[in-house]
Structure 1
Amino acid sequence: MAFEPDRLDRSGPELAVMLKDLRKQAGLSGARLAVRCNISQSKISRIEGNKIRPSLVDVEQILMGIGAPPGVVAEVMAMARMAQTEWQGRRALHRKGLDKKQGELAGLEAVTSEFRYFLLSMNTGLLATPEYIRESISHAPPTQQAKAVGMKLERQAVLFDRTKRFTFLITEQAVRYPLLPPDAMAMQIDRLASLALQVNIRVGVLPMRVKFSNTPLSTFTVYDDRLATIETDLGAAVFRNPGDIRSLLDRFAGYETHALFGGDARSLLNEWAWAFRQ
């Protein structure tokens, strides 16, 4: 699932222009196309003006209404699929502010029932102690840090909503990465073991001795089956296309078969915490 940040940034406007040009080449007004597609004229206008992101179904209906040939359909659908992916570069995220990002995540968490996290190199804020959170955002402007720490801690309340289900797959590297002094790292691992006891939370550990993937790894999160994010050191990509989300769900299920859960996971976590204490 490779993506090019610059290409993703341009895909939405390019798709809008492409659909508008195809409509004009077909000699159709927006109103006539709307009737053919059973889509409102105002929505056609917003799609062509890049004011809204069309779904793949919207694009298929428009192409059928235009009567586009198969080659054009394939090209436009490839562009539409790319437009379903949003790239958020690291610099842009910093300019937006950590508090804005935390607000967006809190809103997403409020409407999600099932969460799946694959954590490659670090813990997520939902699982983190205050010390771990502070150190993880120490690169951010000092004016943003205090508020962001508070918002991250507030978001942890979602873990105790028993109507929501969480599965965290965490590599040994992510658990044991020494972000903090040894005693604080032991407390962070203790928190993981404690949360693993909660009925709506599953914590799966992937030890380094287990070869569980032949594909390039990235941290990713899937919210229900409707949205997913992949994080890299350069930024984050947001996926809304069902095919992309299904691919990540399949990958997650594959990793899950290699993870240790329950008592086995807690025993390993306790062993790692004790190693830090020694």
Structure 2
Amino acid sequence: MTFEPESLGQSRSDLAGALRTERKRAGLTQTRLAQLCCMSQTKISNIEGGKLTPTIVDVELILEAIGTTSPVVTKILALARTANTEWQDLWASRRRGVDKKQNDLARLEAVTTEFRFFLPTMITGLLATPDYVRASLARNPGDMSKTVAKKLERQQILTDPSKFFTFLLTEQAVRWPLASPIAMAMQLDRLASVSRIPNVRLGVIPLGMIGPIGETPLSVFTVYDRRLVQVETHTGALILRDHRDVNAYRDDFDRYESYAMFGDDCRERLSEWATRFRE
């Protein structure tokens, strides 16, 4: 299915209208439909009013309870999939203020328990030193001081014992010389230090750890519980909430994790690379 970014928001209202029409066609009240789906009447009302985006599973349950015919089911499920997809483009983010993105991430992190970060190209802000953060934002126009401060402030979540983090970094991400050699050496020391936090699991995938054909890492992505996946591209980020997408990325993460080095082996490799930067 091809997604048009400008259509993603509209699809939510289209989905709400289609589900409302099908319920009325079947002669069901919201209360009766809620009973058939084991949902609350408030949830059905919010879905039909466009206040709540239902999951694919929610939509499948509703359509089954209504007894919707096959061609209509296909159309409505397509709307549901589009409604569960969001595009955040880089230019809109810049117009809004790059620091505002940090607030959005902080709110998402606050309600997430389990995090999976796959980092094939560069080091994420939660793991970055101040020098690395500033270097990563160097191409953005304007004053980035607020964004730098908020990125560093977000790192406090790593010490929250109720949160669990797994970071997978490729050798390319770790060794890409984004900052000066001494700054890169300090950044690698920072990775080794973070890897000792009890609720953090940090692994690196050396270039020599070649996986099977077809296991090529394609993009940076983060999995938040089983709630959603954020996939980063050069011009923005794709937010996926469909449970099939989330499960697919979790499966990919598990495969990449099997190639990674953790613990003392990881720290030894990071130390070797840091030494090369210092030399």
TM-score > 0.5, shorter chain as reference: yes
Which range moves more in the overlay, 50-59 or 255-264?
A: 50-59
Deviation at 1:46, TM superposition (A): 4.3
| Secondary structure of residue in 1 paired with 2:123 | coil
Map 1:30-45; keep pairs closer than 5 Å. Answer: 32-38=29-35, 44=44
Deviation at 1:18, TM superposition (A): 3.0
Map 1:85-234; keep pairs closer than 5 Å. Answer: 85-143=85-143, 145-212=144-211, 214-215=215-216, 217-234=218-235
Contact 1:9/1:87 (<8 A) preserved: no
| Secondary structure of residue in 2 paired with 1:202 | strand
Whole-angstrom distance in 2 between the partners of 1:77 and 1:120: 33
Whole-angstrom distance in 1 between the partners of 2:209 and 2:6: 35
State the partner residue of 1:19.
Answer: 19
Whole-angstrom distance in 2 between the partners of 1:208 and 1:255: 12
Unaligned runs of at least 5 residues, structure 1: none
Contact 1:33/1:65 (<8 A) preserved: no
Which range moves more in the overlay, 194-203 or 36-45?
A: 36-45
The code of the aligned residue for 2:59 comes to: V
Whole-angstrom distance in 2 between the partners of 1:219 and 1:147: 24
Deviation at 1:61, TM superposition (A): 4.1
Whole-angstrom distance in 1 between the partners of 2:175 and 2:9: 35
Deviation at 1:159, TM superposition (A): 0.9
Report % sequence identity: 51
Q: Does 1:259 align with 2:256?
A: no
Deviation at 1:210, TM superposition (A): 2.3
Residues 96 and 52 of structure 1, relative CA distance in 2, 3 Å threshold: farther
The code of the aligned residue for 1:16 comes to: A
Deviations 1:166-190 (A, max 9, x none): 1100011111111111111111111
Which range moves more in the overlay, 107-116 or 60-69?
A: 60-69
Map 1:63-102; keep pairs closer than 5 Å. Answer: 63-102=63-102
Deviations 1:35-85 (A, max 9, x none): 334466665554344333123344234324543112321331232123112
Deviations 1:209-263 (A, max 9, x none): 2223535511111122222211111211122222221111111000000011112
Contact 2:56/2:243 (<8 A) preserved: no
Contact 1:33/1:62 (<8 A) preserved: no
TM-score w.r.t. length of structure 1: 0.88
The code of the aligned residue for 1:105 comes to: L
Contact 1:33/1:66 (<8 A) preserved: no
The code of the aligned residue for 1:140 comes to: N
Residues 211 and 6 of structure 1, relative CA distance in 2, 3 Å threshold: farther
Whole-angstrom distance in 2 between the partners of 1:243 and 1:43: 22
Which range moves more in the overlay, 58-67 or 196-205?
A: 58-67
Whole-angstrom distance in 2 between the partners of 1:159 and 1:106: 12
State the partner residue of 2:278.
Answer: 277
Residues 184 and 52 of structure 1, relative CA distance in 2, 3 Å threshold: same
| Secondary structure of residue in 1 paired with 2:209 | coil
Whole-angstrom distance in 1 between the partners of 2:247 and 2:270: 30
Unaligned runs of at least 5 residues, structure 2: none
